[in-house]
Every structure is written in C-alpha cells, then in structure tokens.
Amino acid sequence: MAILSPTGTQWLTVLLSVALVGASLSFVVTPESGESLRPVDFADTVNMGGTGVDARRADEEGFVLPQVEVFYSGYRYVVGYVGIETAVSELGDASAQRQFGDPLAVYVSDFSTISPTVTDAGFVVPERGRSVGWTPAETAFYVVGSDATIPSGAVTVAFSERDDAAAFADAHGGDVVDWETLQSRIDDPLPATLEGFEQSVGERHAGADESVAVAEAREDRPVSVVVGADADSVSDRATVPIPADATSEPTVSDAVDAAPPNTTVYLPPGTYDVDGVVLNRSITLAGAGVGAESGAESGPESGAETVLRGDGNRSVVYVRADGASVTDLRVTGVGDVGSRGRELRNESGDWDTTVQLAYGYGDAGVVLDGAAGASVSNVEIDTHASGAIVRESPGSVIRNVTVRGADTASDGFMGVVLIGAPSVVQESTFLDGRDGVYTHRADGSVVRDNRAEPGRYGVHEMYTSGTLVANNTVRDAEAGVIVMTRPTDNLVVGNDVRRSTYGVVPAGSDSYYARNVVVDNEYGLQVSGDRNAFVDNVVLGNGVGARANDILPSNWVLGNDFLRNERAVESEIGPLRTWSHGGVGNHWGALPIADGDRDGVYDRPYRPTGTVDSRLGTASGATVLARSPSVATLRRVQGTVSGLRLSGVVDTDARTRPFHPEIIEDALAADSSDEMVESESVDETATTAGFGGATS
Amino acid sequence: MSESGEGTGDSEGISDGERISDGEGIREKERIDRSRRDRVSDTVRNLFVIATRELRTIVRTPAILALAAAFVASVGGVAWAGTGGRGGFVPLTLDLLTFVEVLVPLLAVAFGYRSILGDRGTGELDVLRTFDVSRVSYVGGVYLGRALALVSLVVGTLLAVGLLVPTLTADIPTFLAVNEAADSGVRYVRFVALAAVFTLVVLAAVVGISATTRSVRTAFALAAALALALVLGIDTALVAGIASGLVPGDGIGVLLALSPNSAFRGLVLSTAIGAVGGAEVAAGEPLLNGVGLLAWWLVSLSVAVRRVWPVVESIEE
C-alpha cells in the first residue's frame, strides 16, 4: 500500500488531470470534414456505377465519361459513379443512405475544363491535351437531354460555369438545370435495369430459336449417299426417305467424300468403325437414331441404332464446313485424352492460346472447327474425354445430345466445350465426366433446357460475356452454374440446381441472376461481383442459403425467397450490404418479428447474418434474446454508420409472405418425386466424383 | 454493496502519523493572522490525505472491485461483440454511448453512496472533525479519492477498448482512396474526455446524496432514484411533456441540458460524432449542455459541503 500515500494520490491526481487535459486537446484538433475533402483519382474509388464496356471504349476511343465522386459520412472509401444519373439516383435512395450514410462531399466531372466537342456518335471529346477536372456538385450546372451519350446511353454533363453549360446546350440541345432540379428529375434506375435484363433474355432466346430453326432445316437435306448397303435394300427400314438416285459407298469416309454439298449421308443401323470422319462440305451425316431413351441398355450391337465407333485414339467426327450436321447416331470409341495442353503448349505463353490448347484440342466425340451454323443433334456420345468441342463456330447448335462421361471428374472432361464464338446448347443431357458445358470466350452463347449430373460443374463459363444460361437442371454436382473470371452481361435465369456443393456461383458485373431454384445444396446462391441483380430466386433447404462475398456492396438482391436454409446468409468480407431496394426486400420465412401495420413487411430490419437474428426460429430462446435491451441497443446502433462496419447483410423490408409460393411448392413436390426417380435409376447416376485435380 | 467491506475503511490514514492539521500551531495561538496561503495549503494537504484514505477504502472493498471488473467486461464485450470495434472509432463510440450512459450512473452509485454516510455511521466523521478538518477538505477529499478511482476505471477501460479498433479493423486495401472524413481517432478521444466529465458529474451528485442523508436506507433509495431518473426518468418525463404539449418544441434544447445524461449524450453526438453519425445532427446546444453539466457538478458538491456538518464558529473569533 505504499503507493497509496498522500504523495501518491497527488501524483495520481496530476497524472489523471494531465491525461484529461490532453484528451481535451482533441476538441482543439479539427477532424476532417466535408469542406476539407478533395477529389481523388477516379481509379482509386470504389466504383458503383457504369459498365465495363463504357470504360473500355472510353479508354480506347478517347472520349470522356461524366463521373461522380461521393464522400459518404459512413464509408471508409470514396465511392465513384460513372454517369451523373447513376449517382443522383443512388444519392436519393434510402437504402444507399443506410449503407453509406450522408454524402459529405460530392464532386462531378467538370466539362468546363475541357472545351468539349461531341462526335457523330454523340461521345464527348475533350480539346486536345485537356483532362477533365472536378467541381462540387452543388454549384455545378447540368445539361440534360442533350445529344451527349456514352455507349450505354444518353448522359447528363456538368459544367462549373453557367456560360459553358448554356453554350453546350445551344450547340447540342438539352436544358441547363441546377443540382436541385437535376435531383428531382432522376428516377430509380433499378426498374429500367431489370426491364433491360428481361428484354435481353427474350432477345437471346429469340436469337437461339433462329439458330436452331436454321440448323433443323439443314438436317433435313435429301439423302445422296447410303453407307455400306444398297439404297434400295435399306429404304423400307430407313428412318429418312431414301431417293431412288441415292448411291452407295462402302465406308463412312468414302460416303462423306462422295456426297455433294447440301445432301445427307445416311448410315443405316449398325456399327461403323471409323478413324476420324471429316466433314469438309456442308452435308448432313445422319444415322438411324440411337436406341430410344434407354441408351445404356441397348449396346452398340443393338440393331435399331447407328453407332460410329472410333479407334479410341482421337476424336471420332470432325466438322470443318459451315452448316454441316451430325444427327441421329451414337458415337463411341473416343480417345481418352481430355486435354492436350501439355503436349501442345506453345512458346508464346499467351494465356488465351494456352487455355484454348488446354481445353479445345482434347479428344471428343464430335469436333466442330470453324464450322459456322453447324449442328449436332439427337446424338449420344460415350466418352472418357469430351463429348463435343466447338471451336470458332458461330451460330452452331448442339441439341438433344447425351454425353456419358468418365466415372470421375479427374478421368473425364467436358460434355460440351464452346470456344471463341456464340453457340447454342440445348435440351441435352450430361452425365458424369467433368463439366456439362464449358465455355471459353464464347460470348453470346445460349445454354438452355439442359440436364446435367456432372462430376464437377453443370455449366462453367470462363471469359465469356453476353450469354444466356436458362432453365438448366443440375443435380449432384460440385457447382450447378458457375461463372468465373470477370465477364459482363450474363443472364442466368430459371436454372434448377439441387444436391450440389454450390448452387449458382456468379462472377463479373452487370449480370442478371433471376428465377433460379437452388435446393438442398451445401451453398445455395452466391452473391458476388459488381452491379449484378439477384431477383426472384428461390433458395430452399441449403446448408448456407446465400454467401455474400462481394467486396463492394453494389449488387441488388431483392424479391428472393430464402427458406429452410440451415444458415440463411454467410458473409465474410466487405461492409454492410442492404438487400432491399425501394421498399422491396426478400422473404426469409416466418420470422418472430412484428408486422404491426399488416403491410406484409416486417416492422424492423432483419439481419440474416446477425448473431441473434440468424438464429431466430432455429435456436431455442433466440427470440427471447433478440428482444433483450442489450441486443436491441446494439442492433439499433449498428444501423448508424453501417458503411464503416464490417460484414453482414440487412434486409430493411423483409417480407412476411413468400414471393413465389407456387415455385416453392413445386420445388418441394419435385424434390420428393425427383428422389423417387433417382432411386429407380440409381445405377446410372451413382458415381459422382469429388475434386479431381481439375483445372479451370 | 458489502457493509463489512465498506467498514474496513477505517481511519488508518491518520494513524499512519501523517498530520491532518497543524495542531500545535493552533494550540499555541502564535499567529492569529495566519496567512491565507497556509490555510489553503492545509486544506489541500488534508484533502489529499482524505483522498488517499478513500482510495484505500476502495481497493479494500471487494464488492466495488467486482463491479469494476463487471464494467470492464461489459464495455469490452460490447466492443468485441458489436461490430463497432471492427468498424472504426465512430461506430465504436455509437456502440458504447448507451452503455456508458447506463453503466456510469450505476458505478457512481456503487462508488459513492456510502462514502460519507459510512463515516457518519461508524463515528469516524466525528473523530475526523476533532482534527479540525475543514468541510471542503473532507468532502473534497472523499470526492477526489472516489473520483480518481472511478474516472481511472472509466477512462482506462474506454481507451483500452479504443485500441481494439486499429487491431480489429480489416486492412485497408492500398488501391483505394480513403475517405478521411469518415472516421477519426480524435473523435473517440473526445468521447472519452466527455465520458470522464460525465462520470465526475454523476459521482458528485451521488456524493451529495451521501452527505445529505442520515441513514443507509434513505441514501440507497435516493441514489437508486437518482440513477433511475438519470437513465430513464428525466428523458421519459421530457418526452411525456412534449407529447402533452407542456413542453414547447423549441424548449427541448434547454430542458435536455438539465439532465446530465442528455447533456452528455448531446455533447457526444455534436462534438464526437458529428456529421459522421448520419442524419443531420440536432443534438441540442453544446454550450447549454456544458453549462448544465457544470451546474450539476457545482450544486451537488456545494450541497455536499454545506450538509456534511453545520458550520462551527472558531472559538477565537
């Protein structure tokens, strides 16, 4: 107790006084505030708006994008928007405020600094050597409705000087308005965005329909050559009409060489041993069909079907002519090399070439190589490598093809590989092997109405933008639909993934993930990427319903049903994400939260990642804990400056009723019937592989 | 609050041989016009002796130590369990504000309600008075001793959990420009300083009650009522007043300054959090809030000094 002497007390008093006086100095120091904030390099901002296409073209073509920088009170970083409209609508949106707080400072691109001219395309180009400066948004003058555009649409431009704005409006049309007026004129961008996505879905379906129609017409070419038999002797049993003038050739190769363009080479039922059939002309190679639906039971010797049997060392059929078709046959004897990447790897080291070599030059049942508009339909392929490889064949169609792959993902390869051009893959079935459909730079491809029970992924997109992946069914995969690299403008809609490790895994930006049904997976829906919309999905009975690992909270997540998941949402990094917009949130099941005004929206925000909220309805006593003053207090204060706080998801407008009760009912019903089908045909689908050293 | 624990605060401080006052000087009556300076220095010296005695009492009272540990655990738990500690200084301030507002009055009651009353009950007060201790020395000493312990606890704990922020905050990606205005340690230090002031004011009020009351039951009832009023009562009454129309809308700023809790909260919101907190800050008048806190402190301590014992006329005068 020696220290507790009057002298000690005096020292303690002095010490504490000094500490308090020192702390009081903090009132003299001025922390940074809105007035002292200066614009930063736009590349260093957290980019919330604008498309990658705009940015790339602006870079390449030398025009400028109107940009906005916002310093929010509750966000550690500076937020950047491309397009003044985007920023204004975001600033007016309550959920953005909840996420980031109040704007302390807003700067817009000042076109007064560049003496702008407008190109014929409507792009704004600066005077030579000038770069765009910044001006505070509140004092700037805006020209709306002028001719100025960026690739994604018309834009508002800003000037620090009223005269410059007026001059621009005189030259290029539009009105000059101030910040306040501008804010009152801008609408919520989400409805237009969603409408745009839906329109694209329709357009891409229509485009695919057209490709399919063209391919179907070509499959009906008149028979000119019959293989291995007299035309007369087979005509009565043939599945296609055999004209009287049709000739006969002993081997498939001879027949293919003999057939004139725009005719069909017909292969009557039977097994044909080939060592690489090459279609160099626009002809159809047609068999008599494959052994009905029960392909596995009817072996190659089965009389009803046509079988092309390769020598087991290479691909079986090569299609190298535009518009050529392969239909109604079974392909076996495919070589077992999935990837020749190592053998073929060139010296250039160019990644694109490397990937193409690795994925595009393995063995396959059918190879389409530079064959625009070619098609493969009603074909079954038994392969330990790939089913079909499609290289640089725009408008090609893979339809009603069944690929049976190797038992394990590491032994097998892809059902269909699409490289370098848009193709359509539809109504096909992929069993075992590695991935069902693998795309590499196959921009604009459409993958729809397929079914996959793959060893690894159902649909796997790499470096591929502008696709439509619709209505595919995936079971027992490592991932149902998985998008990798950083593509844009992909539409993933209406897919149904169950009993897989991952349901739907997105990547990239400005994409649309809608109406997918993910059930009984370890992880249901992943929310990642930038400016993607996740709408109307049903996420049911997964280990983790949604994984939120977007670093920047720029995605829209609304109108989804998250039900019966062990954990509704898991999130690891990034600031708070608000999963609601304009009063529409998601449905999280019946929550023990009040809905006093009976408007179908729970009265308080729901935090599916919250320590207590995430256990509502599952852990006994969680409701009691959720109402404790301490939890209530913490929950209340967590709403403030939420942008600074790490992790988590909040739904400010959680719905009391599901958005899609019929889909949920159907999903549950289909789930049980699915299980029955599964148990009947267990031998067919029993083997699914774990990770197999697969590369991607 | 253990009575036996509090009872161990005996007059050991005096028996240590430290001189409470210059007794001999008085006895000899040598200098009637003793300088004012000596008087002040006596007062100060006695004050520190009393304060030392209070500190000893506190470190020997297990119940108070247990409460202090509970406070540390609560504040640490809030900082750890809430997202504030990982979010930055301003989120942490917001997380802690309500808890400090509730816990500090409770701690102040625990630290202070028996302080003077205990001495009165055991008769130590009478013993002390025989040493010619001035009322200011005695009350000031009691207050200083308790305040040293309590303020150290509050400030130390808050500063310690403040250190969690740089530890727990995720690394900032270097490729992103940082919005300097969004968060600042300066704002947290302001919060800690205001918390210290708030602690001093509430403790003064509790010591005032301890000096005024004559029974433990009354003291406890009053101190509990004070804590309840601070945490809930005054603000609830104010809300009721506004609801019934008794309080005009523009009078809220003044009336808020009358409650130490509201004044403290207002000061934290206006000076420590400011615009970062989100919505435009309407946190009342900082100046009025400051005056309100000062008034509570001065009135409480003067009441304590006046009521601890009646003025005794010096014989020689």
How does pLDDT run across B168-185, given as a tens digit for each residue? 766 656 666 777 777 778
Nearest to A6 among B49, B99, B178 (CB): B49
pLDDT at A496: 94
* A406 and A479 assigned to the same domain: no
Q: In a mutagenesis test of the B interface, which of A16, A40, A41, A73 is the best target, namely the one with the most B β-carbons within 10 Å?
A: A73
Does some domain include residue A432? yes
Q: Are B63 and B2 in contact (CB under 8 A)?
A: yes
pLDDT at A261: 92
Distance CA A272, CA A267 (A): 9
Q: Whose structure tokens read 């003496």? A: A115
A34, B183: Cβ pair inside 8 Å?
no
Q: Using alpha carbons only, what angle is made at residue A269 by residues A266 and A273, rounded to the nearest 5 degrees? A: 85
A8, B52: Cβ pair inside 8 Å?
yes
Q: In a mutagenesis test of the A interface, which of B83, B153, B191 is the best target, namely the one with the most A β-carbons within 10 Å?
A: B83
Does some domain include residue B3? no
* Closest among A297, A243, A246, A301 to A272, alpha carbons compared: A301
* A240 and A327 assigned to the same domain: yes
In the chain, the amino acid numbered A550 is D
Check the CA dihedral B144-B146-B149-B155 and report its sign. Answer: negative
Q: How far is CA A381 from the centre of its chain?
A: 28
CA dihedral A609→A612→A618→A624, nearest 10 degrees, is -160
Please give the C-alpha separations between residue A387 and each of A354, A367, A403, A430, in angstroms, as whole numbers: 21, 9, 6, 9
* A249 and A174 assigned to the same domain: no
Q: Is B101 on the interface with A (CB under 8 A)?
A: no
pLDDT at A299: 42
**Chain B closest CA to A75's CA: distance in Å?**
6
pLDDT at B31: 56
A74, B56: Cβ pair inside 8 Å?
no
A71, B179: Cβ pair inside 8 Å?
yes
Nearest to A24 among B98, B99, B193 (CB): B193
Does some domain include residue A16? no
Distance CA A530, CA A11 (A): 58
Least confident span in A594-603, B3-12, B104-113, B120-129:
B3-12
**Tens of pLDDT, residues B24-33:** 555 555 555 5
Strands (E), B177-216: none
* A105 and A181 assigned to the same domain: yes
Q: Are A493 and A470 in contact (CB under 8 A)?
A: yes
* Chain A residue at shortest CA distance from B188: A26
DSSP secondary structure letters along B262-304: HHHHHHIIIIIIGGGGSSPP----HHHHHHHHHHHHHHHHHHH
Q: What is the mean pLDDT of chain B?
A: 79
Longest C-alpha distance within chain B, in Å? 80
**Which of A147, A171, A187 finishes a domain?**
A187
With beta carbons under 8 A apart, name residues in chain B contacting A6.
18, 45, 48-49, 51-52
* Total number of domains constituting chain B: 1
Distance CA A364, CA A384 (A): 9
With beta carbons under 8 A apart, name residues in chain B contacting A637.
82, 84, 91, 94-95, 97-98
pLDDT above 90 (res B77): no
DSSP secondary structure letters along B63-117: HHHHHHHHHHHHHHHHHHHSSHHHH-HHHHHHHHHHHHHHHHHHHHHHHHTTHHH
* A282 and A136 assigned to the same domain: no
Please give the C-alpha separations between residue A307 and each of A255, A379, A384, A416, in angstroms, as whole numbers: 16, 10, 17, 20
Q: Is B171 on the interface with A (CB under 8 A)?
A: no
A40, B177: Cβ pair inside 8 Å?
yes
DSSP secondary structure letters along B211-235: HH-SSHHHHHHHHHHHHHIIIIIHH
* Chain B residue at shortest CA distance from A105: B181
Distance CA A428, CA A296 (A): 16
pLDDT at A200: 95
With beta carbons under 8 A apart, name residues in chain A contacting B177.
40-41, 44-45, 77-78
pLDDT at B6: 44
CA dihedral A424→A425→A426→A431, nearest 10 degrees, is 180
Distance CA A559, CA A547 (A): 17
Distance CA A66, CA A134 (A): 10
**Which of A446, A474, A509 finishes a domain?**
A446
* Chain A residue at shortest CA distance from B270: A27
With beta carbons under 8 A apart, name residues in chain B contacting A647.
83, 86
Q: Is B216 on the interface with A (CB under 8 A)?
A: no
* Total number of domains constituting chain A: 3
* CB-based contacts of B180, cutoff 8 Å, min separation 6: A32, A36, A37
* Chain A residue at shortest CA distance from B150: A16
Q: Are A414 and A435 in contact (CB under 8 A)?
A: yes
* A421 and A485 assigned to the same domain: no
DSSP A601: B
Classify residue A17 as exposed, middle or buried by CB count within 10 Å of its CB (0-12, 13-18, 19+). exposed
How many CB pairs below 8 Å do chains A and B form together? 176
Distance CA A64, CA A83 (A): 11
With beta carbons under 8 A apart, name residues in chain B contacting A35.
none
Does some domain include residue B14? no
SS (H, E, C) A479-511: EEEEECCCCECCEEECCEEECCCEEEECCCECC
Q: Are A338 and A385 in contact (CB under 8 A)?
A: yes
Does some domain include residue A630? yes
Query: Is B58 strand, coil or helix?
Result: helix
Distance CA B252, CA B298 (A): 23
* A144 and A236 assigned to the same domain: no
**Chain A closest CA to B265's CA: distance in Å?**
14
Please give the C-alpha separations between residue A377 and each of A307, A424, A425, A470, in angstroms, as whole numbers: 14, 11, 10, 19
Name the residue with higher pLDDT: A369 or B40: A369
pLDDT at A483: 94
Q: Is B119 on the interface with A (CB under 8 A)?
A: no
**Chain A closest CA to B17's CA: distance in Å?**
11
pLDDT at A562: 94
Q: What is the domain range of residue B230?
A: 35-171+179-308
pLDDT at A300: 41
In the chain, the amino acid numbered A187 is D
* A39 and A146 assigned to the same domain: yes
Q: Is B8 on the interface with A (CB under 8 A)?
A: no
Q: What is the domain range of residue A622?
A: 465-696
Does some domain include residue B316? no
Q: Whose structure tokens read 């070619």? A: A374
pLDDT above 70 (res B294): yes
Q: Is B94 on the interface with A (CB under 8 A)?
A: yes
* A545 and A680 assigned to the same domain: yes
CA dihedral A504→A506→A510→A513, nearest 10 degrees, is 0
Does some domain include residue A23? no
Q: In a mutagenesis test of the B interface, which of A36, A76, A577 is the best target, namely the one with the most B β-carbons within 10 Å?
A: A76
| Other Cβ atoms closer than 10 A to A629 | 9
Does some domain include residue B24? no
Q: Whose structure tokens read 């074909």? A: A379
With beta carbons under 8 A apart, name residues in chain B contacting A99.
none
**Mean pLDDT to the nearest integer, B307-317:** 69
* A434 and A469 assigned to the same domain: no
pLDDT above 60 (res B14): no
Does some domain include residue B1? no
Distance CA A585, CA A648 (A): 15
**Chain B closest CA to A362's CA: distance in Å?**
40
**Chain A closest CA to B99's CA: distance in Å?**
9
B155, A104: Cβ pair inside 8 Å?
no
- Ranges in chain A, pLDDT < 70: 1-3, 31-35, 49-53, 94-99, 230-238, 292-303, 341-351, 551-552, 572-576, 611-612, 614-623, 625-627, 630, 634-647, 670-696
Does some domain include residue A550? yes
pLDDT at A295: 42
With beta carbons under 8 A apart, name residues in chain B contacting A24.
193
Name the residue with higher pLDDT: A344 or B123: B123
B176, A644: Cβ pair inside 8 Å?
no
pLDDT above 70 (res B291): yes
Q: In a mutagenesis test of the A interface, which of B16, B179, B293 is the best target, namely the one with the most A β-carbons within 10 Å?
A: B179
Does some domain include residue A457? no
pLDDT at A301: 42
Does some domain include residue B196? yes
Nearest to B148 among A1, A12, A646 (CB): A12
Does some domain include residue A295? yes
Nearest to A77 among B97, B145, B178 (CB): B178
ipTM over cut 0.85: no
* Closest among A462, A456, A422 to A439, alpha carbons compared: A462
Longest C-alpha distance within chain A, in Å? 124
B172, A10: Cβ pair inside 8 Å?
no
Does some domain include residue B16? no
A644, B144: Cβ pair inside 8 Å?
no
Q: Are B50 and B137 in contact (CB under 8 A)?
A: yes
Q: Are A533 and A194 in contact (CB under 8 A)?
A: yes
Distance CA B314, CA B317 (A): 5
Does some domain include residue B317? no
Q: Are A608 and A569 in contact (CB under 8 A)?
A: yes
pLDDT at A204: 96
* A397 and A534 assigned to the same domain: no
Q: Is B162 on the interface with A (CB under 8 A)?
A: no
* Closest among A390, A551, A371 to A464, alpha carbons compared: A390
**Tens of pLDDT, residues B207-259:** 999 888 888 888 889 989 988 888 888 888 887 887 787 777 677 778 888 88
DSSP secondary structure letters along A216-256: HHHHTPPEEEEESS-HHHHHTT-SS---TT-EEESSHHHHH
